[in-house]
Structure 1
């Protein structure tokens, strides 16, 4: 939709003081989806020229905030790591048209901080680290699980920029299992659970998103049995942290989380 309060679009490559009413513009699929009456100026990131995905010498994967879902999907098709299938599974969890795939960005999905954001699911499950850049140039690293603090809430100061998310090589080598549930055949994720088994030390991680207001990542030195896994989830997610909206009641989300977590535990145990 037209943003009739915006009076200026600034190229992010040209430094200028941040001011009230400014907002970073990535793909714009959220910004232009509804009225934004507080905005006066958009700072356009589309011409920054950031490489969508970069492989570090140690095998880690750095995903630029401006990387689109389509670009991430194409890159994932070339990966040879064991966790590679998880990228496409999470991209497909968007259930979006090709128009959205070619405009929506990884950074935008993270910064919207919606429980059903599948890029949150992907990067949290693979122990992603967000690189944040302040207006004064200061940098800090924040785990994805700490970056998203609640439904629509994130650890991002005024004017601070999410530059990229880095996924460690070790987690990219993990065997993964993916489960998603929705109230509708082609509906928004009501529950999304990902398991990862480390081939080096046999540790097990379970990440819960969509059913909770924030991503929850549980780590076990060895794969747990059913009862300890269930107890760990129940302990990690407070009663008021099960998400409640038109896409699922908290009781249903909680029930399905336990059910899908157990399916994942058994799948990774049997391989």
Structure 2
């Protein structure tokens, strides 16, 4: 869709450009949502691709994902063999139901910053203990846990002029065994519940991340694998009824039921498995 209110586009931005942020500005990455509907309040686009950020960087600390990294680039990256959580990269990419054309343009940062409950990059980065680096208009930066970045449907912690620079997934999380569950009302519909479980090969600790069924990500952490009753009790205590999302893609009662069901399936799948996959 043409955005006929735009009067200027900054193709090669700098930190100084960020300092001039004003109402009517918008960050442009892949643009798959930005150009999907009218944006009458916008006057200037600032193209993040002009920063020239490297899409992905792997080191001993983990995987740094630039906000401008596309979903296609995320899938194509080669990860160390000990990072057995790597299949989540493709599982979450496929949860964004679109053609290869969309995957080639849509960005990780754009999906996170749009902050929809069903955003699969939110699920990915939250479940793997991602750390978001945010650039501030004053020239500094701050870091926020991915689990705390989204605060509600379409809402997040970014202030005016702030910019998500990257998300780092620590190697400790990438070395964990994971289990993935997702459902939607229609075969090609938006996620209504997306849960990811993670178990550490070091100490056996277990983390369950609930997304899509809730208005914001919810994480539950245990020192070891909980029993079925303990897990469901923790879900009931942590996820208040008002946290379950209501829209045309699913009623809260159904989302809650699927959340409880998937949580137990994930717990069972990861039961007593060690890093080599043995019971």
TM > 0.5 fold call:
yes
Query: Is the aligned partner of 1:3 residue 2:3?
Result: yes
- Residue 54 of structure 2 is matched in structure 1 by 51
- Residue 34 of structure 1 is matched in structure 2 by 37
Q: Structure 2: how far apart are the matches of 1:111 and 1:12?
A: 21
Once the two structures are superposed, the pairs formed by residues 31-180 of structure 1 within 5 Å of their partners are: 31-56=34-59, 58-75=60-77, 77-80=78-81, 81-180=83-182
Q: Structure 2: how far apart are the matches of 1:188 and 1:12?
A: 34
Q: Structure 2: how far apart are the matches of 1:142 and 1:92?
A: 26
Once the two structures are superposed, the pairs formed by residues 237-252 of structure 1 within 5 Å of their partners are: 237-252=239-254
Q: Structure 2: how far apart are the matches of 1:124 and 1:194?
A: 9
* Secondary structure at the counterpart of residue 49 of structure 2: coil
* Secondary structure at the counterpart of residue 269 of structure 1: coil
- 8 A contact 2:209–2:218 mirrored in 1: yes
Unaligned 5+ residue runs, structure 2? 274-279
User: 1:148-189 CA deviation, whole Å, 9 max, x = no partner?
Assistant: 001110000100000000011100000000000111112111
User: 1:62-93 CA deviation, whole Å, 9 max, x = no partner?
Assistant: 00000000000001x54421101111111111
Q: CA RMSD in A?
A: 1.1
User: 1:4-31 CA deviation, whole Å, 9 max, x = no partner?
Assistant: 1111111243433111111100000110
Q: Structure 1: how far apart are the matches of 2:24 and 2:188?
A: 36
Q: CA deviation at 1:49?
A: 1.4
- 8 A contact 2:13–2:46 mirrored in 1: no
Higher mean alpha-carbon deviation, 257-266 vs 4-13, is at 4-13
Q: How many residues align?
A: 269
Q: CA deviation at 1:147?
A: 0.6
- 8 A contact 2:24–2:43 mirrored in 1: yes
Q: Structure 2: how far apart are the matches of 1:5 and 1:27?
A: 19
Query: In the superposition, relative to structure 1, how do residues 169 and 72 fare at CA in structure 2: closer, same or farther (>3 Å)?
Result: same
TM superposition score normalised by structure 2: 0.94
TM superposition score normalised by structure 1: 0.97
Q: Structure 2: how far apart are the matches of 1:168 and 1:28?
A: 28
Q: CA deviation at 1:48?
A: 1.7
User: 1:174-228 CA deviation, whole Å, 9 max, x = no partner?
Assistant: 0000000111112111000000000001100000000000011111001100111
